[in-house]
Amino acid sequence: VVNAGTANKLLRNTGVGGFVDATPPLLADASGLGLAAAWGDYDGDGDLDLYLCNGSTGNKLFRNDGAGAFADATSGPLSDGGVTYGADWGDFDNDGDLDLAIANEGSPSKLFRNDGGGVFALAGVGTIGTAVSAYGIAWADTDNDGDLDLFVAQSSANRLFKNEGGSFVEDADAALRDAPSGAGAAFADYDADGDLDLYLVNLGGANSLWRNDSGAGNRWLHVALVGGASNRSAIGARVHVFAAGTHRIREISGGSGFASQHSLAAEFGLGGAALVDSVRVDWPSGATTDTAAIAADQVLVLVEPGGPTGTSGPPLPASHALHGNFPNPFNPVTTVRFALPEKSEVRLAVYDVSGRFVRLLQEGVSPAGVFEATWDGRDFAGRDAGSGAYFVRLEAGRFQATRKMLLVR
């Protein structure tokens, strides 16, 4: 808990519905006007470190050394000295470690590149420094091209900076820029179409939800984690995706930016890659999960091995299954869940009542597990399908099943 003018607090969850004060003296430091904090495993040692944003004295980076012990690891440009309202960790250069972006009010916002070994450098990457009245800041691959873009919510004009291979160029979306003064910002795929939408908390105006209709046509993979021995939301887990020669990472966080929290799924843009070579999850408990040959454009659900009951691994389905879509009836988005007891060649498609092909939802090799796919009520050409009955058909090896869906516009 970051406090303004009083001691900060670290509250440990007892796991039985309560919290206890576990604040070490270093984190209780109240010399600054605390405004925000961001957790991230910047050194890759398996535990979450803490970046503290102050409004009157320098910001601080505290390295988590385990067992409740923290050390001041602030070095180089990390102290900043500006009035920092928000921070967010993200690997913008896809080199396997977390970089840090901060939003400053009254001075330029900044991006710090993680060069490893506890060394951070101020990254000279385009026009991010022109955001000078900022509060919220958030990483998201808004165009699914495979690298993280940066959104800055500020009082003068909101800014979206597109990542073009490590250099940032401001997006020219006038509507988003001219929205009411922004404060908090969070990304999630609210309409389940594979790209990330934005919820913006505004100063002096109504909050707003921005649907992403960029239509970039790039592929994607969302990884939804179910924690067991660690925590149900899998906060602190790191997800690695290897596809087309690129290693991308995401961490599951309980909060970021300025008083904001993104979706708890790990959301990856894949560019043109139709197949992910492998996915690895490093769970906070120390367990790992490895999955290979995953088709793009799906939500992959992974369960932590060795949950509280002492099970030896994630439960796998005993048989193939195609479950009813939800919601049903729907308008315009619905989700289809299916189960595979073994690695299978999968085709999931939508047909109308005459048996005519409408839309391919998933095709390719999938590992054993439970999966979700979404249909946005459009056909293969992107046209809105009319109201009425449709059928979703799953083919997985020798298994075939069909379910009826009702689209009501």
Q: Which of 17-31, 69-83, 256-270 has the lowest mean pLDDT?
A: 17-31
Q: Which of 86-100, 229-243, 308-322, 379-393 has the lowest mean pLDDT?
A: 308-322
Q: Which of 151-155, 209-213, 254-258, 309-313 has the lowest mean pLDDT?
A: 309-313
pLDDT higher than 60, residue 214: yes
Asked if residue 3 is part of any domain, the answer here is no
Closest CA to 54 of 37, 35, 73, 67: 35
Asked if residue 195 is part of any domain, the answer here is yes
Which residue type occupies 120? Answer: F
Q: State the pLDDT at residue 312.
A: 42
Domain check: are 266 and 374 in the same one? no
Q: State the pLDDT at residue 326.
A: 87
pLDDT tens track for 169-199: 888 776 676 666 778 899 999 888 899 999 9
Q: State the pLDDT at residue 311.
A: 39
Q: State the pLDDT at residue 389.
A: 95
Query: What DSSP designation does 272 have?
Result: T
pLDDT tens track for 344-374: 899 999 999 999 999 999 888 888 888 888 8
What CATH number does residue 81 fall under? 2.130.10
Domain that holds residue 108: 11-303
Domain check: are 277 and 368 in the same one? no
Q: State the pLDDT at residue 127.
A: 62
Domain check: are 378 and 280 in the same one? no
Rg of the Cα trace of the chain?
22
pLDDT-based confidence at residue 308 (cuts at 50, 70, 90): very low
Asked if residue 311 is part of any domain, the answer here is no
Give me the mean pLDDT over the 259-286 stretch. 93
Domain check: are 247 and 327 in the same one? no
Helix (H, G, I), strand (E, B) or coil at 44: coil
Domain check: are 286 and 346 in the same one? no
Domain check: are 213 and 292 in the same one? yes
Q: State the pLDDT at residue 55.
A: 76
What CATH number does residue 394 fall under? 2.60.40.4070
Q: State the pLDDT at residue 313.
A: 47
What is the overall mean pLDDT for the chain?
Answer: 87
Asked if residue 315 is part of any domain, the answer here is no
pLDDT higher than 50, residue 382: yes
Q: State the pLDDT at residue 45.
A: 92
Give me the mean pLDDT over the 226-249 stretch. 92
Q: State the pLDDT at residue 31.
A: 57
- Angle made by CA atoms 253, 207, 141, in degrees to the nearest 5: 45
Domain check: are 291 and 390 in the same one? no
pLDDT higher than 90, residue 231: no
Asked if residue 166 is part of any domain, the answer here is yes
Q: State the pLDDT at residue 17.
A: 75
pLDDT-based confidence at residue 62 (cuts at 50, 70, 90): very high
Q: State the pLDDT at residue 108.
A: 85
Which residue type occupies 258? Answer: F
Domain count, the chain: 2
Asked if residue 312 is part of any domain, the answer here is no
Domain check: are 369 and 275 in the same one? no
Asked if residue 4 is part of any domain, the answer here is no
Last-in-domain residue among 254, 277, 303: 303
Domain check: are 103 and 142 in the same one? yes
pLDDT-based confidence at residue 63 (cuts at 50, 70, 90): very high
Give me the mean pLDDT over the 38-57 stretch. 89
pLDDT-based confidence at residue 167 (cuts at 50, 70, 90): confident
Q: State the pLDDT at residue 87.
A: 93
Domain check: are 276 and 346 in the same one? no
Kindly give the pairing relationship between strand 399-407 and strand 388-396: antiparallel
Backbone φ and ψ of 176, nearest 5°: -65, -40
Q: State the pLDDT at residue 180.
A: 62
pLDDT-based confidence at residue 310 (cuts at 50, 70, 90): very low
CA dist 28 and 1 (Å) reads: 10
Reading the block at residue 383, the tokens are: 């046209």
Percent of the residues in the chain that have a pLDDT greater than 90, as a whole number: 45
Q: State the pLDDT at residue 166.
A: 82
Asked if residue 6 is part of any domain, the answer here is no
pLDDT higher than 70, residue 14: yes
Q: Which residue has the higher pLDDT, 370 or 70?
A: 70
Last-in-domain residue among 275, 303, 331: 303
CA dist 82 and 36 (Å) reads: 13
Which residue type occupies 306? Answer: G
How many Cβ atoms sit within 10 Å of the Cβ of residue 103? 34
Domain check: are 187 and 121 in the same one? yes
Domain check: are 325 and 392 in the same one? yes
Any idea how long the chain is?
409
Q: State the pLDDT at residue 235.
A: 93
Last-in-domain residue among 270, 303, 336: 303
CA dist 246 and 269 (Å) reads: 11
pLDDT tens track for 397-408: 999 999 999 999
Paired with 347 in beta bridges are 363, 395
